[in-house]
Chains A and B, each alone.
Chain A
Amino acid sequence: MQITINVNGEDYTREIEPRHLLVRFLRDDLGLTGTHWGCDTSNCGACTVLLDGKPVKSCTVLAAMAAGHEVRTVESLEVDGNLDPVQQGFIEKHGLQCGFCTPGMLMTARALLNENPNPTEAEIREAISGQLCRCTGYLNIVRAIQWAAEHSTAKTVGS
């Protein structure tokens, strides 16, 4: 079947099988390998992208279900060489070690700050509760998102 998905502001039309998963569509068909493919069971959240502005696990969404909708991946965060505050926050506060969970964490953080520019620590922890990080113990990820909230200007990249 033929589908068109708007990814990072651009329409992409591809011929796919109905069983094709959104994560594979992004990685294999579009070459957007920033979205990581982790556990494949909706547990780890590494594959998190924004679907119509809301974070979802793209290993558990059929590409066909996303047809006609807007998807944002981690590749959309940097604009004209300028990092999104959530990206800068992960650098400033060392919010990553191996980096595997990072794209998903960044997208969840972006979605959170779009809706709630000044989240509490509890709200940040709740927002990332569907994502696993095996390295950091989460503390620096929380600090990174707090840093991003403090350093965000009016711009809402990825919203």
Chain B
Amino acid sequence: MQVPAPFEYQRAKSVDETLALLQRFGDEARIIAGGHSLLPMMKLRLARPEVVIDINDLHELDYVRQEGSELRIGALTRHRTLLESELIGRFFPIFHDAERVIADPLVRNRGTIGGSLCQADPSEDLSAVCAAVKAQAVIRGADGSRVVSMDEFHLGPYETAVGPGEMLVEVRIPVWQNAGSAYEKVERKAGDWAIAAVGAAVSLNNGRIADAGFGYAAVGILHAHQVEEAVRGKEPSEELFAEAGRIASEVCEPITDTRGSAEYKRHLAGELTKRALRRAVARAAGREA
């Protein structure tokens, strides 16, 4: 039987109360939302917080809404909500692509976007999605809020810009014009972590790619700005998609593990970049719903 080490349990009722608890307990405290990353780590003693702060009552952080030219997602929004959100699907089909292949329906009933991003697992899908659509993360602390890009948020595997006494409260995504986005993932079995996965987002202007974003999971990088630069201003074509894929497979940094060899993952990063870009462009052009 796997049981976490003993800890003190606190159930917070508001963001302010959560921040006060984080201030009080400092490094000893960890926030729990869905718990589907943290609890397995606690069972294996990979995480051993002395205080666990349950934020499931923070309904103020459970929302998807449009505000001006931004889509805003509360940190406690569940995977299932993201999958079922019409608003998300209309602006960012990449989220629906990804949510269909994140874990399984039971886990998606519990897990949250905030938990996924803060866990910062290198194989985690929503970080790649948020990188592709150039999301910003709103981090709150005792002194107020700060807004950081995904580049600044995601410092590396299991490491984010969220400091002691702080919490992620919201994800903001600029709504692109004439835009399309898509997520492509290869996994070993239903609900597994990715062997490799790629998110792509583009906006079109006069038949050319005005802007593009690419996010990666499980291949050692989160962004591939070289791929973005390579396609920006260009006319979409199979040759361009192939070129983007070629660059992606060069710049990614996969490792050999139980999910596959580095060589295989490099191949996937390229192929999936090509497919995700092709689909994102098709969606931007209205050729695929």
Contact = CB atoms under 8 A, between A and B. Distances in A.
**Bind each other:** yes
| Interface size range on B against A | 20 to 34
Nearest to A108: B106
B131 interface: no
Contacts of A157: none
A56 B110 contact: yes
Contacts of A54: 80, 109
A121 B106 CA distance: 18
Contacts of A126: 105
Interface string A58-87: 001110110100000000000000000000
Contact of A17 (B6, B42, B107, B110): B6
Interface in B154-173: none
B3 A42 contact: no
B39 interface: yes
Given A41-B40, A55-B105, A60 B9 contact: no
A57 B40 CA distance: 12
B3 A48 contact: no
A57 B9 contact: no
Contact of A57 (B2, B4, B80, B107): B107
Nearest to A69: B56
B26 interface: no
Interface in B106-123: 106-107, 109-110
B11 interface: yes
B191 interface: yes
A129 B105 contact: yes
Nearest to A58: B106
Interface string B7-48: 111010000000000000000000010011001101100000
A155 interface: no
Interface in A5-51: 17-19, 21, 24, 37, 40-42, 45, 48, 51
Interface string A120-136: 00000011011100000
Given A18-B6, A65-B56, A57 B35 contact: no
A64 B106 contact: no
A1 interface: yes
Interface in B40-89: 40, 42-43, 52, 54, 56, 80
A131 B103 CA distance: 11
B43 A40 contact: yes
Contact of B9 (A21, A56, A64, A130): A64
B289 interface: no
B190 interface: yes
Contacts of B54: 62, 64-65
B104 interface: yes
Contacts of B8: 18
A129 B191 contact: yes
Q: Which of A1, A24, A40, A42 has the most CB of B within 10 A?
A: A42
Contacts of B11: 64, 67
B106 A55 contact: yes
Nearest to A16: B9
Interface of A: 1, 17-19, 21, 24, 37, 40-42, 45, 48, 51, 54-57, 60-62, 64-65, 67, 108, 126-127, 129-131
